[in-house]
């Protein structure tokens, strides 16, 4: 894979940086897990790390969480070096780990009291209620379903109102309702100024939730940008499908900016580099031919398609 | 301080809820105590002098050495310590609190033995209860710290059993629990002095029971305290949040340093 593909975004440069990763490198014996990556996340932003298994997402997050020591590079979380100042870091960040656990005999209420006392804050019973855990407050951790365990982990991660929230595969194992609730809470936290860094496999989730993403492959970042900008740049083309009463377009698809055209299921399909010019000329052509328009679809490639394109092994 | 108390309370309650802990802290040692009180004192009347301190030490060892190390390994492998770390629980608390909680359980079991052995089995009771109590707390700390050290450096549950039995079994056989150090053959005595129970028994005899000793009472208590302190320090220094992501400051082999106070005791006494 070549150099990182940088997509311009409309990020406000005046917003201070919350999190900065600069030339991070981490190896395990001969395996290079993270190979000199750099990115910044601004305050209040929801930033996603996407990538296939083994891309280095979790290693990157764990270096930022202070769980692993980087071999090289600089990490900065709100002015704190995660490796050298773990006690300050823990006050600033909330973490939901991909793989973690609690003592089997610890109930939801115990966990809330336990971790809040270490963070020096009052237990947040309101959060247990918001995440539907209040009715399970006396249940032991090993009695909770996977979904409830993950909800509890998220509740504990945000109980001390951290300025940066790091989520590793936050919706893995969650049902649709819990997933939606989690998206709502994360968006709400972001609106209140919390910076969110999340690693996920779920492209729909990344597309829906994040302001920007970095796509990782084999320890490197191969593209960064907003999901919208990333998808808009897939081959630089947008698919336009047109259906009219007499299908006159089938005979003449010589339209501006169109690089490919075909017919499929009663639709004339064109791939264009300039949506506005192409759509305008389609409408003009149909008008001129007196052929009433039935349907017109403009489809951008999904983030998943873009992800597969970027991470496919040549 | 609130966090420490909260954590300690949780650990103590967990011990009460855990069948393994109840077995190791209460059922096994008290059953063993009853058996030894009924049988051993009949066979060897001199054992009445050893019954209370030896059964207290068996209680403390069973609860710590046979139960605690596996808890450390299981918690580490289950990712519990990772959760603790990212939520700001310091390593010192993770190591110290289970030791303190197990010491509480051990002291409760010990109190039962010490308060009933005289009446039930005609055991010789301490002449200095204060010294007895302090030595019991010290012994609980020593075995708790050793158990934590074993748990911290062991890579699996099997390894904890191996290391724990390496201390537990010789202690039962030549650690002064069944036979006073005086009666252990000369050639074997040097090896006895590598075991914490030997110093604990000598300290009990010299300081709490006012009996004759092979090793001076205060000296024994000093060796025991040094051994406990060193084991606790090593347990904190060698602690790792998880095995895979280990960023340990020292190699686990440094754990053998914990034997130094006993080695010094063996050479000096």
At residue B247, the pLDDT reads 58
Q: Write the ipTM.
A: 0.81
Quick check: B79 and A105 CB within 8 A?
no
At residue B14, the pLDDT reads 87
Counting Cα atoms < 13 Å in the Cβ hemisphere of B202 gives 27
Q: How far is CA B207 from CA A92, B45, B109, B134, in A?
A: 52, 22, 21, 10
B-chain CB neighbours of A110 within 8 Å are 10
Q: How far is CA A10 from CA A19, A205, A251, in A?
A: 18, 21, 41
Residues B12-48 pLDDT 10s = 988 888 888 889 889 999 999 999 999 998 898 889 9
Q: Which residues constitute the domain of residue B123?
A: 2-268
At residue A238, the pLDDT reads 78
Distance from CA of A312 to the nearest CA of B (A): 29
At residue B21, the pLDDT reads 84
Q: Which residue has the higher pLDDT, A206 or B264?
A: B264
Pick from A106, A118, A123 the residue to mutate for testing the B interface (most B CBs within 10 Å).
A118
> How would DSSP label each residue in A51-80?
-STTSSHHHHHHHHTTSS--SEEEEEETTB
- Check if the beta carbon of residue A41 is closer than 8 Å to that of residue A166: no
B10 pLDDT higher than 50:
yes
Q: Among partner residues B3, B18, B245, which is closest to A67 by beta-carbon distance?
A: B245
Q: Which residue has the higher pLDDT, B150 or A260?
A: B150
At residue B245, the pLDDT reads 57
d(CA B239, CA B249): 9
Quick check: A110 and B10 CB within 8 A?
yes
Distance from CA of A206 to the nearest CA of B (A): 24
Quick check: B82 and A67 CB within 8 A?
yes
Quick check: A103 and B75 CB within 8 A?
yes
Least confident span in B128-142, B207-221, B234-248, B254-268: B234-248
Residues B98-118 pLDDT 10s = 999 999 999 999 999 999 999
A-chain CB neighbours of B14 within 8 Å are 103, 105-106
Q: Which tokens go with A137?
A: 């407050």
Quick check: A102 and B83 CB within 8 A?
yes
Distance from CA of A60 to the nearest CA of B (A): 13
**Residues in chain A with pLDDT < 50?**
1-4, 6-10
Confidence at B241, pLDDT banded by 50, 70, 90: confident
B-chain CB neighbours of A153 within 8 Å are 83
> CA torsion, points B140, B145, B146, B147, in degrees to nearest 10?
90
Residues A128-149 pLDDT 10s = 988 888 899 999 999 998 888 8
Residues A240-299 pLDDT 10s = 888 888 888 777 667 777 766 777 778 888 878 788 888 888 888 888 888 888 998 887
Q: Among partner residues A93, A103, A117, which is closest to B2 by beta-carbon distance?
A: A117
Q: Which residue has the higher pLDDT, A299 or B82?
A: B82
A-chain CB neighbours of B79 within 8 Å are 97, 99-101
Q: Which domains occur in chain A, in start order?
A: 5-232 (3.40.50.300), 238-311 (3.30.70)
d(CA B175, CA B196): 8
Q: Which tokens go with A295?
A: 């349907």
Quick check: B88 and A91 CB within 8 A?
yes
B-chain CB neighbours of A69 within 8 Å are 247
At residue A9, the pLDDT reads 46
Distance from CA of A239 to the nearest CA of B (A): 46
B165 pLDDT higher than 90:
yes
Give how many domains chain B has, as a whole number. 1
Q: Which of B76, B244, B243 is nearest to B148 (CA)?
A: B76
- Check if the beta carbon of residue A296 is closer than 8 Å to that of residue A268: no
Distance from CA of B98 to the nearest CA of A (A): 12
């Amino acid at each position: 894979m070549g150099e990182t593909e940088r997509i311009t975004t409309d990020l406000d440069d005046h917003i201070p940086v919350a999190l900065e990763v600069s030339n991070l490198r981490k190896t395990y014996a001969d395996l290079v897990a993270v190979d000199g990556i750099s990115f910044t996340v601004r305050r209040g932003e929801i930033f996603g790390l996407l990538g296939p298994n083994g891309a280095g997402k979790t290693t990157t997050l764990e270096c930022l969480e202070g769980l692993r020591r980087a071999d090289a590079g600089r990490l900065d979380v709100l002015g704190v070096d995660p490796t050298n100042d773990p006690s300050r870091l823990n006050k600033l960040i909330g973490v939901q780990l991909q793989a973690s656990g609690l003592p089997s005999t610890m109930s939801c209420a115990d966990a809330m009291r336990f971790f809040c006392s270490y963070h020096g804050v009052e237990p947040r019973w309101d959060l247990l209620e918001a995440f539907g855990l209040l009715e399970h407050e006396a249940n032991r951790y090993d009695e909770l379903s996977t979904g409830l365990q993950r909800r509890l982990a998220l509740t504990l991660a945000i109980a001390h109102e951290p300025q940066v929230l790091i989520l590793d595969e936050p919706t893995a194992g969650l049902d649709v309702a819990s997933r939606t609730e989690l998206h709502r809470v994360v968006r709400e936290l972001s609106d209140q100024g919390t910076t969110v860094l999340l690693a996920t496999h779920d492209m729909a989730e990344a597309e829906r939730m994040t302001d920007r993403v970095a796509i990782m492959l084999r320890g490197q970042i191969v593209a960064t940008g907003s999901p919208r900008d990333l998808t808009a740049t897939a081959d630089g083309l947008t698919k336009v499908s047109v259906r009219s009463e007499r299908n006159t377009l089938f005979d003449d698809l010589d339209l501006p900016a169109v690089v490919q055209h075909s017919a499929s299921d009663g639709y004339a399909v064109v791939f264009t580099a300039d949506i506005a010019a192409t759509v305008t000329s389609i409408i003009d052509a149909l008008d001129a031919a007196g052929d009433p328009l039935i349907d017109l679809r403009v489809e951008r490639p999904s983030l998943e398609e873009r992800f597969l394109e970027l991470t496919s092994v040549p | 301080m609130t966090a420490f108390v909260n954590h300690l309370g949780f650990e103590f309650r967990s011990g009460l809820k855990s069948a393994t802990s109840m077995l190791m802290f209460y059922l096994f040692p008290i059953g063993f105590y009853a058996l030894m009180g009924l049988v051993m004192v009949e066979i060897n009347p001199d054992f009445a002098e050893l019954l209370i301190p030896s059964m207290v030490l068996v209680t403390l060892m069973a609860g710590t050495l046979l139960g605690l190390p596996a808890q450390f390994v299981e918690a580490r492998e289950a990712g519990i310590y990772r959760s603790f770390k990212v939520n700001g629980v310091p390593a010192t608390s993770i190591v110290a609190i289970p030791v303190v909680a197990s010491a509480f359980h051990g002291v409760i079991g010990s109190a039962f033995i010490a308060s009933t052995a005289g009446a039930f089995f005609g055991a010789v009771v301490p002449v200095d209860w204060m010294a007895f109590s302090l030595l019991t707390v010290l012994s609980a700390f020593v075995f708790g710290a050793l158990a934590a050290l074993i748990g911290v450096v062991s890579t699996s549950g099997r390894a904890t059993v191996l290391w724990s039995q390496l201390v537990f079994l010789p202690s039962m056989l030549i650690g002064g629990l069944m036979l006073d150090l005086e009666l252990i053959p000369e050639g074997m005595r040097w090896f006895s002095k590598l075991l914490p129970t030997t110093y604990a028994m000598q300290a009990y005899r010299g300081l709490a029971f006012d009996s004759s000793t092979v090793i001076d009472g205060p000296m024994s208590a000093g060796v025991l305290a040094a051994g406990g302190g060193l084991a606790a320090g090593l347990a904190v220094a060698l602690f790792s949040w998880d095995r895979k992501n280990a960023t340990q400051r020292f190699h686990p082999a440094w754990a053998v340093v914990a034997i130094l106070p006993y080695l010094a005791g063996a050479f000096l006494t």
